Amino acid sequence: MRKFFHYLFLIILFLSSLGVYFTNRLMYIKKKKDEFILDREKGAGRLDLIKYECLPKREVLIPSPFGYNLKAVAVEPYENNRYIIISHGVTENKMNSIKYMNLFLERRFNAVIYDHRRYGESGGKTTSFGHYEKFDLKAIVDWLKAEKGPGVQIGIHGESMGAVTMILYAGMLEDAADFYIADCPFSDFKEQLAYRLKAEMKLLPKFFLPVADLFLRMREKYSIAEVSPISVIENIKKPVLFIHSEKDDFILPTMSEALYEKKKGPKKLYLAANGIHAQSFNENREDYEKAIDEFLEEYVNKNLKLHLQ
């Protein structure tokens, strides 16, 4: 009997250590340093700090429903009510959003860029891969609507985790924007984690994921199964442009294809020929812009009341 309890204790200790280890990997995923992101974007020619500093803008702190502030920058060169909100990816911050912001500024949109919880200048202690972030995105949208009034016209662009956040936000029966652009999202967190466990660590997902999920429920109060864009995509009635690189081996392009197939109503899909994960814009800029222009022309511009200078 003593041996039984000894082995039981060892098993519990092993599973507990495993659960804490995997949930730590998720909750505290290593962030890129702010200086690294800034230097990378400047070095690649995607960020001109002088031009950025000269833009008419205001910094705002928007309260999250979870008790911290979200740092946002509203960039408003135009006297119109067209806005794009940029939702950045995991390990990044709002400076990574500037290249997308510039794309929409060229198309006479104003913009809001912001830091997700735990990133950049926002509060929050953990990353939840879209689960809690979707409520923060709602806070950003609600703030913009309160600021600009009921006539504001909003698009949301999300990259990677930012795209997942955007789909989960719209899919929880909000759908408050006029259009969405989802760049390289995963379709289901459980499926994505299973793929990465096998690809990176050669581990069996059927054994490790239930343990990770149990500890995630205890520590963060949500389940891996709740982070599933494909389970809510049918709730989105507004136009969605799905973008993914054909060579993405981190989040497979088949995930965007599955989301595209299941989404009802207005939608488009652009598969970029070059680049790995989250590099579709960087490696295919001309085609990327063409895909956005065609999407805007087909589904957005004809329905928007433009109030341009």
Q: For 96-114, what is each residue's pLDDT tens digit? A: 999 999 999 999 999 999 9
Flag whether 309 is in a domain: no
Task: Note the pLDDT of residue 309.
Answer: 39
Q: Is 80 exceeded by the pLDDT of residue 14?
A: no
**Coil, strand or helix at 64:** coil
Summarize the chain as % helix, strand, coil (round to 5).
50, 15, 35
Q: For 123-175, what is each residue's pLDDT tens digit? A: 999 999 999 999 999 999 999 999 999 899 999 999 999 999 999 999 998 88
- Same domain assignment for residues 104 and 137: yes
Q: For 129-140, what is each residue's pLDDT tens digit? A: 999 999 999 999
Q: Is 302 exposed, middle or buried (0-12, 13-18, 19+ CB in 10 A)?
A: exposed
Q: For 41-78, what is each residue's pLDDT tens digit? A: 999 999 999 999 999 999 999 999 999 999 999 999 99
Task: Note the pLDDT of residue 19.
Answer: 84
Flag whether 140 is in a domain: yes
- Same domain assignment for residues 2 and 98: no
- Which residue is it, tokens 């709740």? 226
Q: Is 80 exceeded by the pLDDT of residue 282?
A: yes
- Same domain assignment for residues 156 and 285: yes
- Same domain assignment for residues 19 and 66: no
Point out which residues pair with 126 in neighbouring strands.
none
- Same domain assignment for residues 11 and 126: no
Q: Is 50 exceeded by the pLDDT of residue 38?
A: yes
Task: Note the pLDDT of residue 17.
Answer: 82
Flag whether 308 is in a domain: no
Query: pTM of whole model > 0.75?
Result: yes
Flag whether 211 is in a domain: yes
- Which residue is it, tokens 């990770």? 212
Task: Note the pLDDT of residue 306.
Answer: 44
Task: Note the pLDDT of residue 304.
Answer: 57
Point out which residues pair with 69 in neighbouring strands.
63
Task: Note the pLDDT of residue 305.
Answer: 47
The total number of structural domains that make up the chain = 2
φ, ψ at 35 (rounded to 5°)? -65, -40
CATH of the domain at 279: 3.40.50.1820
Q: Which domain holds residue 216?
A: 1-30+194-224
Task: Note the pLDDT of residue 55.
Answer: 98
**239 — pLDDT class (breaks 50, 70, 90):** very high
CA distance 151 to 194: 43
Task: Note the pLDDT of residue 303.
Answer: 66
Q: For 190-238, what is each residue's pLDDT tens digit? A: 999 999 988 887 667 788 899 999 999 999 999 999 999 999 999 999 9
Mean pLDDT confidence for 181-186: 98
- Same domain assignment for residues 219 and 231: no
